[in-house]
Amino acid sequence: MPHTPYYLIDKSKLLRNMEKIAYVREHSGAKALLALKCFATWSVFDFMSDYMDGTTSSSLHEVKLGRKKFGKETHAYSVAYADSEIDEVIENADKIIFNSISQLNRFADAASGIVRGLRLNPQVSSSSFDLADPARPFSRLGEWDVTKVEAVMDRISGFMIHNNCENADFDLFDNMLGDIETKFGSLLSRVEWVSLGGGIHFTGDNYPLDKFCARLRAFSEKYGVQVYLEPGEASITKSTTLEVTVLDTLFNGKNLAIVDSSIEAHMLDLLIYRETAKIEPNKGDHAYMICGKSCLAGDVFGEFNFANEIRVGDRISIQDAAGYTMVKKNWFNGVGMPSIVIKELDGSERVVREFTFDDYVSSLS
C-alpha cells in the first residue's frame, strides 16, 4: 500500500454514476460530456469513456487533455480566449463555445472549420454561494440580451447554458428550464444543439431519473435540438476518498487530531466555501476536530464523532474527495501531495501517480 495521503478512486463506486449517466443518455437522447474543471484524472478516462460522449473544458490545457486522453467529442469553452492560444484550441476541439458576442465576432472566422456556439446567461441560478453563482449581479458569464444574440445567429449553431449549481432538486431544475424557454425560446428553435451545463445532481440518491429524462426529451423535441449535459460532480460523486493518517493528538478545549494532509492543499473547496469534510459513519462517543498539518490556523477538516479514541497511526478516510480536489491540489507549505490510487473492479489497488520532491521543485523556479 502507498504511503498516505492518497486519493483512492473506487471504480465500483464510479460505475454506479456511469450507469446512471448511461441510463439518462439512453432514455432522454441527451449526450453527456465530462466537465474537466471538476475532475480530470485521466487514468480512469478509458473506463468512463464507455459511458460518456466526450469532454468539455474551460481552458486550452483542458481542451488538449480531453482530446488526447479521453477522445470522442471535445467541446472547448473559455471565459476568454487569447490570440496566442485560439488556433491550438480550434485544432483540438469539435465545438468551440464563446462566452461573449465580442469573442465570437473576434474569432468566428478562425473557427469557421468547426462547430461554433455561444453561452447564454438566463440571469437566474440554483447556486447558494455568491462566489459560484453564474447569474450573480454583473456576471461576466454569457450573454442575456436576446436582441443582441439575434444579430449573430448566422455565426453559431448552438448554445451553452450553465445555471445549475449542486442542484439535486428536480422541480427546481424543471422550473429554471421553463424560465430559459420563456426567455430564449425564440432563439432555441433556431439552433441545432443546446448544452444545459453541469451542476445537476442527477446521479444522487433518489433523484427522479425518469422524470428528468422525460423533461430533457420534451425539451429536445420541442426545439429540435440535440441536448448536452456536462456532469462534473455528478460523474464522480461518492467515488473517491482521501486516505490520511493521524500524526498527533492533543487537547486544547477540544480533542484534536492532526493528519498528514491539508484542506488548503488537497481539498481546497472546503476552505473556499467554508464547508466541512465528510467522514462516515460519524457516530460514537469520542468527538474530535480533524486538523490539517499546514500552518494555516483554519486548516480544519471538521468535527466528527468516532466509536473509539483516536491514536497516532490511525487511518481516516475523508469521503467524497474526487470533485474539485485533484484539479486544485497545490504545494502550499510544501506539504506532500497525495498520490492517486485506483481500486479496480476486482478489488485490487494500483498506484497510478506519486508526487515527489522533484515535482515540488519543478513547479517553482
Looking up residue 310, the CATH number of its domain turns out to be 2.40.37.10
The pLDDT of residue 4: 98
DSSP labels, 276-300: --B-SS--SSEEEEEE-SSS-TT-E
- The answer to whether residues 195 and 161 touch, using CB atoms and an 8 Å cutoff, is yes
The enclosing domain of 211 has a CATH number of 3.20.20.10
Binding residues for substrate: 233, 269
Q: How far apart are alpha carbons 192 and 153 in whole angstroms?
A: 11
The pLDDT of residue 1: 75
The identity of residue 141, as a single letter, is L
Domain boundary among 235, 251, 279: 235
Instruction: Tell me whether residue 2 is in a domain.
Output: no
The pLDDT of residue 327: 98
Ordered per-residue pLDDT tens for the chain, 365 residues: 789 999 999 999 999 999 999 999 999 999 999 999 999 999 999 999 999 999 999 999 999 999 999 999 999 999 999 999 999 999 999 999 999 999 999 999 999 999 999 999 999 999 989 999 999 999 999 999 999 999 999 999 999 999 999 999 999 999 999 999 999 999 999 999 999 999 999 999 999 999 999 999 999 999 999 999 999 999 999 999 999 999 999 999 999 999 999 999 999 999 999 999 999 999 999 999 999 999 999 999 999 999 999 999 999 999 999 999 999 999 999 999 999 999 999 999 999 999 999 999 999 99
Which residues form the domain of 78? 12-235
The pLDDT of residue 2: 86
On whether both 260 and 122 belong to a single domain, the answer is no
On whether both 336 and 226 belong to a single domain, the answer is no
> What is the rounded end-to-end Cα distance, in angstroms, of the chain?
32
Cell numbers placing 91: 485544432
Instruction: Tell me whether residue 119 is in a domain.
Output: yes
Angle formed at CA 21 by CA 263 and CA 143, multiple of 5 degrees: 75
Using H for helix, E for strand and C for coil, what is the string for 235-273? HHCCCEEEEEEEEEEEECCCEEEEECCCHHHHCHHHHHC
Q: How many CB atoms lie within 10 A of CB 364?
A: 7
Cβ burial, residue 83 (10 Å; 0-12/13-18/19+):
exposed
On whether both 220 and 296 belong to a single domain, the answer is no
- Strand, helix or coil at 201? coil
Instruction: Tell me whether residue 186 is in a domain.
Output: yes
223 phi/psi in degrees, rounded to 5: -105, -5
The pLDDT of residue 205: 95
Domain boundary among 235, 265, 297: 235
On whether both 126 and 269 belong to a single domain, the answer is no
Q: How far apart are alpha carbons 31 and 195 in whole angstroms?
A: 9
Q: How many CB atoms lie within 10 A of CB 201?
A: 21
Please name the residues in contact with 237: beta carbons below 8 A apart, sequence gap of 6 or more: 17, 201, 203, 204, 320, 322, 323
On whether both 273 and 340 belong to a single domain, the answer is yes
Instruction: Tell me whether residue 76 is in a domain.
Output: yes
Handedness of CA 99, 101, 104, 106 (dihedral sign): negative
On whether both 91 and 174 belong to a single domain, the answer is yes
Instruction: Tell me whether residue 126 is in a domain.
Output: yes
Binding residues: 233, 269
Instruction: Tell me whether residue 3 is in a domain.
Output: no
On whether both 58 and 188 belong to a single domain, the answer is yes
How many domains would you assign to the chain? 2
The pLDDT of residue 248: 98
Bridge partners, residue 319, by sequence: 278
The pLDDT of residue 218: 98
Q: How many CB atoms lie within 10 A of CB 256?
A: 17
